[in-house]
Structure 1
Amino acid sequence: MTQKLIIIGAGMASGRVIEHLVEDAPGAYDITLINAEPRGNYNRIMLSPVLAGDKTYEEIVTHDDAFYADHNVACKFGTKVVGIDRGSKTVTTDQGEVLSYDKLIFGTGSNPFMIPLPGHDLNGVIAYRDLEDTERMMALEAGARCVVIGGGLLGLEAAAGMAARGVDVTVVHIMGHLMERQLDEAAGYLLKKALEAKGITVLTSANSKEIVGENGHVKALMLDDGTELPCDLLCMAVGIRPNTALAQEAGLAVGRGIHVDDQMQTSIEGIFAVGECVEHDGALFGLVAPLYDQAKVLAKTLIGEEAAFKQKSLSTKLKVTGCDLFSAGDFAEGEGREDIVFRDPSRGVYKRLVIENDRLIGAVMYGDTADSNWFFGLIQSGEDISEMRETLIFGPAYQGGGASDPLSAVAALPPEAEICGCNGICKGTIVDAINAGATDLGAVRSTTKASASCGTCTGLVEQVLQVTLGDDFQMPTAQPICGCCDLTHEDVRLLIKSQELKSQEAVWQELGWKTRNGCHVCRPAVNFYLLADWPLEYRDDPQSRFVNERKHANIQKDGTFSVVPRMWGGITNAAELRAIADAADKYNVPTVKVTGGQRIDLLGVKGEDLPHIWADLNKAGLVSGHAYSKGLRTVKTCVGTDHCRFGTQDSTGLGIKLEQILWGSWTPHKVKLAVSGCPRNCAEATCKDVGIICVDSGYQVGVAGAAGMDVKETERLVDVPTEAEAIEWTTAFIQLYRENAKYLDRPYKWVAKVGLDWVKERLADPVERTRLVDAFELSQSIYRKDPWAEHAQQAERFQPLADLTLEAAE
């Protein structure tokens, strides 16, 4: 039964909760989002680039009106909650509305701390917390004067942003060096010099005494030594305090923040809190990484899954342009600790490592932070560094003897090394996304969310791209299909259609190919385009396919192969399982694994055994699962109405029908489907290329999803009442994708290029939809076949001859 969920506050943490909920359990909650600001969720940590003029507000909006509408989130922006009745489970707004809830989330964030100096209430004295504050600073003209009180991260970002606009900025900091919580004195000194080089005046060990005004407006800041700093605007950036007033009035346990347990539940059952307003085990949180961790835990808690929030070591990177700075761990001096320090004054480089008991416990870096993630990984893991003690300061490239190329530090990072601290994305996740087709920064962001928050890891993500892709990295957006010609993929597709080119030879000749027969890059693409556009006239060229498709099996790193039989919709039976077990025994298969797509993978099959194992599996009625192909891989299903008490439709039956219709088809890239029998989404349909959610009224068809550590959810294509219509729309979408997408573009990349509205418009036309379905069926009638059966028949024909030869030899 759908529950009512009210969320108070549209900050980054509560926004991430909504993302996880609509992704993992769409329809489980009717969500109402109440926010005092007159807008929804935006990326607050990107206000600095907005201030500096590098981005616009529209570019940092995380959830626009369409997002809320698509996910049926009721929004009440510019509205405050003024009361909570725990007994009746209602909240009252300043508009007089009384709203009931089953679950309630406090995402009230924090309030900026304003030093109660005389004059702090003058006009022109602001904090730096939201869009309105940013717009006040942006309104200053070049040559205007601004004083920033606070030399922490936020204050320095405000100062740098205004300085970039030509504002005369002075930073006043009470401590002896900048960012004292994150930096030691030496690094703070270098940072001060760098900011002064940008034209920012920095005063440390400076104590503010009074804000001087004139006619009700700020005029100057007076220091306790009598110095007056004239200003047209004064920005206080001296810290934040959790916004707990409403929670306290409602009777929740409150300390410095709202008390929560490991599941983010407050002291009152059914009421939760997330973000900067919470206090967990005595700690408060102001960085985005732990807030996103909290959001993930809370979402899992709300849908009944086990999860626990654990505090982690955090690192800090400064986002002031030109100031490369990193700190992590504990770098305070203490007994039993030793420092390793590297200084290069001419390059402005400073590094300090703090070691205790042969463990790296802290690191501060300025000017050269390329190895920061590697050092951070050592701090988190607690690895014994005694063996690399002599060369530790020089980073991973020097472990084992000497320097390497500039990308060696990134190449040396282990898969578990964290790359994006905001979203907790490790190198292995990014590499997996790249290998799955995310070959540019935008695709990596879309697939994994790496570098999608504060952006400080963007350079590192690009380095991972470069290391993983090698020479294919950073090719121009309109890059040629390969070195054989000057045409893009899009050009080639258009010319094949417009000039009615129906053979590879015609393409090479008519389109000015520089080589006679193409190459390993262009041949697979051209082969597919011809196959998709001219199924009656063109015949597939097996030699123009990638090695796995030629072998009809995935080659493994040891030279053996993976064999995956197809299991329609994840359904199998005892006879098939016996055949798989017998094959595993007969061919000494070392690993038998259940895949995430509800199939069984036989790993480690020798190449010479492939035709024979296929023949044995064929006898049991099993066909190729095409786990190696650019085509349909799996249709994942839940048990649906046959067994599940929550099922609304026959999801298994629909999944089987879709797989039997679509299997064996060639597509620009691999395609995965799923059908979930209810909005609880056990089949994970909302992160597939095509995902169908069964509901009481029929079927919700979504497309263009992508899976990773954090997934890209599907976008709603259509809601239909019948199974036949769901099949029709899915088949038409696949054919539209076949006819228009660039080779090796997954559906989510293609949809991003052409726009979902264009796709919807094409498929909404019943005549066009019928044409697409007919075209797909025509192609299937010509090309669908089981490659295992063909090769198995050959093996059967040649087996008697092999037996005779063996007998003669004996």
Structure 2
Amino acid sequence: MPTNHRDSALPVSRATDGQGRKRLLVVGNGMASLRFLERLTEGCPGLYDVACVGAEPQAAYNRVLLSSLLGGEIDEAATAFRGLDWYESHGIRLITGAPVTAIDRENGQAIVGDAHVLPFDTLVLAVGSLPIRLPKPGMDLPGVITFRDLSDVAAIRKAAVEHAKAIVIGGGLLGLEAAAGLAKRGIDTTLLHVMDRLMERQLDHEAAGLVRRAMEERGVRVILGADTAAVEGDGRVERLRLADGTVLPADLVVMSVGVRPSLALAQGAGLATNRGILVDDRMATSDPRIFALGECAEHRGLVYGLVEPSYEQADTLARHLSGQSVAYEGTHLATSLKISGLPVFSAGLVDTPADAEAVTLFDPGAGLYRKLLLREGRLVGAVFVGDIAEQASCKALIRSGEPVGDVDDLMFGRPAPQSLAA
């Protein structure tokens, strides 16, 4: 079992580690898991005897940079967060490349691989999510690859040989990033999206149109309203057929149509689940000794697939396990990113409801779009493309619900403060 410490078979005894510390086991070593470990060790170092188990062979890395890695803008080392020495110096036993296969709640044990046992008094599940594959014929052919982790990037790079034709299915953020990364490598790339606009959850039609233009300017062919019927080929991917009969040649198909929470471990342990692992405001599951956070958790009916909510949940749980009285009340979602070099921001509502007013600024030639959604003088949504300088102010106003002072300040930017000098 790959690990960075000496013991391969760990002791099974429970309760404490001989120093009066309870055993804390974290399952999953992704971005949310690392954030939790950082906050816990900052706030109360040495409070727990901590072990962390990750299924991937690497320690936690920055998934946000996968498209830059795919496009050759950075190397794999640039995606790393903390070296193994950080875990060791903070007293965390990190086990990598070893999935937890079962949880024995009665005896407080987690089974790693086939037979290794890790004891726990407190368990944190940060097992993330799994990429969705469309239930269509041919999705198991060699050459159909998801875009989710470092191994996927390696597989896409191997398949994206010179003169290859690539098709990316999915016009959400990950799909756009995958398509941009492939195009940057000089690959003939087509992006398919079943909806009538890209990133429909974050952008309205005008903003999505600017994003589409930016993608096309970088060599990505975009086809909207594209319903995939099947992937076809003799032994491997050769073409993709749409529901309208259109046939597109393909050597590589990248699947990016969303993710679903990883539930098998929790369900096998008898924890309450719905779309995700059900948690309360302190991130506790139906078993008070077991907590969940990040993409696998469902809080107040919502499953978040973004980094910011995962970090807020990690902060809440770290404070709770440090003895503080704290509650996670949900996250007001906001998106701030660059798509093919084009800055994009959205928060709150995207499309204009009947009871709200939209104030817009649109200059297609300059690639600039700003929309503010106001309800009774309060900001309930914002979409910016091209210039996102006022994003922090918009996020604060949407979250606080305070009345907007001067709409022009949000639309055009606040004037620079005047000098007090005579």
**TM-score in terms of structure 2 length:** 0.91
CA contact (8 A) 1:275 1:294 kept: yes
* Structure 2 residue 411 is matched with structure 1 residue 394: yes
* Structure 2 residue 213 is matched with structure 1 residue 193: yes
Aligned to 1:290: 309
Measure, in 2, the Cα distance between the counterparts of 1:24 and 1:393. Answer: 37
CA contact (8 A) 1:79 1:95 kept: no
CA contact (8 A) 1:252 1:267 kept: yes
User: What are the equivalent positions in structure 2 for 1:787-798 lying under 5 Å apart?
Assistant: none
* Structure 2 residue 27 is matched with structure 1 residue 8: yes
Measure, in 2, the Cα distance between the counterparts of 1:394 and 1:114. Answer: 40
Seen in structure 2, the aligned counterparts of structure 1 residues 48 and 136 have a Cα distance that, compared at 3 Å, is same
Which segments of 5 or more consecutive residues in structure 1 lack a partner in the other structure? 398-403, 413-810
SS at the partner of 2:270? coil
SS at the partner of 1:276? helix
SS at the partner of 1:16? helix
Aligned to 2:169: 149
SS at the partner of 2:288? coil
User: What are the equivalent positions in structure 2 for 1:500-579 lying under 5 Å apart?
Assistant: none
* Structure 2 residue 199 is matched with structure 1 residue 182: no
CA contact (8 A) 1:374 1:396 kept: no
SS at the partner of 2:371? strand
- The one-letter code sitting in structure 2 at the alignment partner of 1:222 is R
Work out which of the residue numbers 266, 273, 276 in structure 2 matches 1:247.
266
SS at the partner of 2:110? strand
C-alpha displacement of 1:372: 2.2
CA contact (8 A) 1:351 1:393 kept: no
Seen in structure 2, the aligned counterparts of structure 1 residues 72 and 95 have a Cα distance that, compared at 3 Å, is farther
C-alpha displacement of 1:317: 2.0
Seen in structure 2, the aligned counterparts of structure 1 residues 393 and 269 have a Cα distance that, compared at 3 Å, is closer
Measure, in 1, the Cα distance between the counterparts of 2:267 and 2:153. Answer: 30
Task: Using the TM superposition, name which of 107-116 and 87-96 deviates more.
Answer: 87-96
Measure, in 2, the Cα distance between the counterparts of 1:367 and 1:237. Answer: 25
User: What are the equivalent positions in structure 2 for 1:153-232 lying under 5 Å apart?
Assistant: 153-215=173-235, 217-232=236-251
Aligned to 2:324: 305
CA contact (8 A) 2:393 2:410 kept: no
- The one-letter code sitting in structure 2 at the alignment partner of 1:395 is F
User: What are the equivalent positions in structure 2 for 1:605-684 lying under 5 Å apart?
Assistant: none
User: What are the equivalent positions in structure 2 for 1:363-402 lying under 5 Å apart?
Assistant: 363-385=382-404, 388-389=406-407, 391=408, 394-397=411-414
CA contact (8 A) 1:39 1:78 kept: yes
- The one-letter code sitting in structure 1 at the alignment partner of 2:54 is N
- The one-letter code sitting in structure 2 at the alignment partner of 1:10 is N
Measure, in 1, the Cα distance between the counterparts of 2:374 and 2:249. Answer: 45
Measure, in 2, the Cα distance between the counterparts of 1:162 and 1:293. Answer: 32
CA contact (8 A) 1:141 1:166 kept: no
C-alpha displacement of 1:332: 2.2
CA contact (8 A) 1:163 1:200 kept: yes
Measure, in 1, the Cα distance between the counterparts of 2:101 and 2:382. Answer: 45
- The one-letter code sitting in structure 1 at the alignment partner of 2:285 is T
Seen in structure 2, the aligned counterparts of structure 1 residues 72 and 393 have a Cα distance that, compared at 3 Å, is closer
Work out which of the residue numbers 364, 374, 377 in structure 2 matches 1:355.
374
Aligned to 1:53: 72
SS at the partner of 1:319? strand
Aligned to 1:124: 143
- The one-letter code sitting in structure 1 at the alignment partner of 2:182 is M
Measure, in 1, the Cα distance between the counterparts of 2:378 and 2:94. Answer: 49
For 1:382-441, what per-residue CA distance to the aligned partner results, in whole angstroms no more than 9, with x for missing partners?
2223x534x3563342xxxxxx4xxx4xx79xxxxxxxxxxxxxxxxxxxxxxxxxxxxx
SS at the partner of 2:339? coil
CA contact (8 A) 2:370 2:382 kept: yes
- The one-letter code sitting in structure 2 at the alignment partner of 1:299 is A
User: What are the equivalent positions in structure 2 for 1:396-415 lying under 5 Å apart?
Assistant: 396-397=413-414, 404=415, 408=416
Task: Using the TM superposition, name which of 69-78 and 265-274 deviates more.
Answer: 69-78
Seen in structure 2, the aligned counterparts of structure 1 residues 95 and 69 have a Cα distance that, compared at 3 Å, is farther
- The one-letter code sitting in structure 1 at the alignment partner of 2:95 is K
CA contact (8 A) 1:142 1:165 kept: no
Measure, in 2, the Cα distance between the counterparts of 1:79 and 1:346. Answer: 52
Seen in structure 2, the aligned counterparts of structure 1 residues 394 and 17 have a Cα distance that, compared at 3 Å, is closer
CA contact (8 A) 2:389 2:413 kept: no
- The one-letter code sitting in structure 2 at the alignment partner of 1:177 is R
Runs of 4 or more off by more than 4 Å in structure 1? none
Aligned to 1:342: 361
Which has the higher Rg, Structure 1 or Structure 2? Answer: 1
Higher RCO (C-alpha 8 Å, min separation 6): 2
Work out which of the residue numbers 301, 317, 326 in structure 1 matches 2:345.
326
Measure, in 2, the Cα distance between the counterparts of 1:136 and 1:49. Answer: 15
SS at the partner of 1:136? helix
Measure, in 1, the Cα distance between the counterparts of 2:325 and 2:217. Answer: 51
Work out which of the residue numbers 72, 75, 96 in structure 1 matches 2:91.
72
For 1:202-249, what per-residue CA distance to the aligned partner results, in whole angstroms no more than 9, with x for missing partners?
00011110011222x111111011111112211111111000111011
* Structure 2 residue 103 is matched with structure 1 residue 84: yes
Aligned to 1:109: 128
Measure, in 1, the Cα distance between the counterparts of 2:380 and 2:241. Answer: 40
- Counting aligned pairs with the same residue, the percent is 42
Aligned to 1:705: none
CA contact (8 A) 2:211 2:339 kept: no
SS at the partner of 2:175? helix
Measure, in 2, the Cα distance between the counterparts of 1:373 and 1:164. Answer: 31
* Structure 2 residue 278 is matched with structure 1 residue 259: yes
C-alpha displacement of 1:70: 1.4
Aligned to 1:807: none
Seen in structure 2, the aligned counterparts of structure 1 residues 307 and 393 have a Cα distance that, compared at 3 Å, is closer
In angstroms, what is the RMSD of aligned CA positions? Answer: 1.6
* Structure 2 residue 49 is matched with structure 1 residue 24: no
SS at the partner of 2:338? coil
C-alpha displacement of 1:374: 2.2
- The one-letter code sitting in structure 1 at the alignment partner of 2:361 is F
User: Which structure has the highest strand share of the two?
Assistant: 2
**TM-score in terms of structure 1 length:** 0.48
- The one-letter code sitting in structure 2 at the alignment partner of 1:384 is P
C-alpha displacement of 1:158: 0.7
For 1:623-675, what per-residue CA distance to the aligned partner results, in whole angstroms no more than 9, with x for missing partners?
xxxxxxxxxxxxxxxxxxxxxxxxxxxxxxxxxxxxxxxxxxxxxxxxxxxxx
Measure, in 2, the Cα distance between the counterparts of 1:212 and 1:304. Answer: 56
* Structure 2 residue 62 is matched with structure 1 residue 43: yes
Measure, in 2, the Cα distance between the counterparts of 1:89 and 1:236. Answer: 38
Measure, in 2, the Cα distance between the counterparts of 1:248 and 1:284. Answer: 16
- The one-letter code sitting in structure 2 at the alignment partner of 1:23 is E
For 1:108-135, what per-residue CA distance to the aligned partner results, in whole angstroms no more than 9, with x for missing partners?
1000111111001111111111000111
